[in-house]
Chain A
Amino acid sequence: MNARSQVLLWGAQRASAMVLALCVVVHLATIIYAVRNGLSASEILGRTRGNGGWLVFYAIFVAAVAIHAPIGLRTILAETLGWRSRGADVFAMVVALSLAMWGWRAVWAVFH
């Protein structure tokens, strides 16, 4: 990977971090509020089922995580295991796609 791509990767991680900052504040506030008096499926689904707002919010949340986490993981693998090859980049990409797929599946699961 050339230097320019590495810079853009870094930029993507910081940009997704900014998006996540907003998403996580909302997510934490929701959790802390929702967990009063226990948590039930009907409570969660009552909020998310058929709600386009939550669908869009969580879809964006998942996309941002799928960009943010694998780039960080790639750095950790490079620095702790010395894994810096093309294979490591491919692995990071696979993690990204997996997180996106599983995440969007979960978002759909609580929406439909």
Chain B
Amino acid sequence: MNNDFRARNHPAYWAFLVHRISGLLLTLFLPLHFWALGQALHGEARLDGLLRWTEQPLAKFAETALVLLLAAHLAGGVRLLMLEFLAWRDWQRSLLALATGVTLAAGLAFLLNATW
């Protein structure tokens, strides 16, 4: 019998989940990202064609999701680096709130710029 959600239902654990899932999804996305940019080797027109394709709403949604994932992984990662390398303080809960805020701000900024 292992621990289930009842034992995991607290902020630091959610932070771990977000961090691990975002890291995994970003790693899976990278090959696609590198391939797409690599298309520039075949000329500007090829890259432009790809970018044109990303104008559709579904792609914009996916891009926003990716920006959120990246921002979340960054914010969560900085939080972890602070917890691990700075002498421990009890304000780590505030760190988590700050990280969440920064993530959402970045996602919102992207969404506004990309769609307005």
Do A and B touch, yes or no (CB under 8 Å, in the complex)?
A: yes
Is the contact region of chain A dominated by helix, strand, or loop, or is it mixed? helix
Interface flag for B4 (CB, 8 Å): no
Q: Which of B23, B37, B70, B110 contacts A69 (CB 8 A)?
A: B23
B interface size (C-beta, 8 A) = 37
Name which of B6-14, B41-49, B90-98 contacts chain A.
Answer: B41-49
Chain A residues contacting B31 (CB-CB under 8 Å) are: 98-99, 102
Whether B67 pairs with A109 at a CB distance below 8 angstroms is no
Interface flag for B30 (CB, 8 Å): yes
B interface list, Cβ under 8 A from A: 20, 23-24, 26-27, 30-31, 33-35, 37-41, 44-45, 47-48, 50-51, 54-55, 67, 70-71, 74, 77-78, 81, 84-85, 106, 109-110, 113-114
A interface list, Cβ under 8 A from B: 14, 17-18, 20-21, 24-25, 27-28, 31-33, 35-36, 38-42, 44-45, 65, 69, 72-73, 76, 98-99, 102-103, 105-110
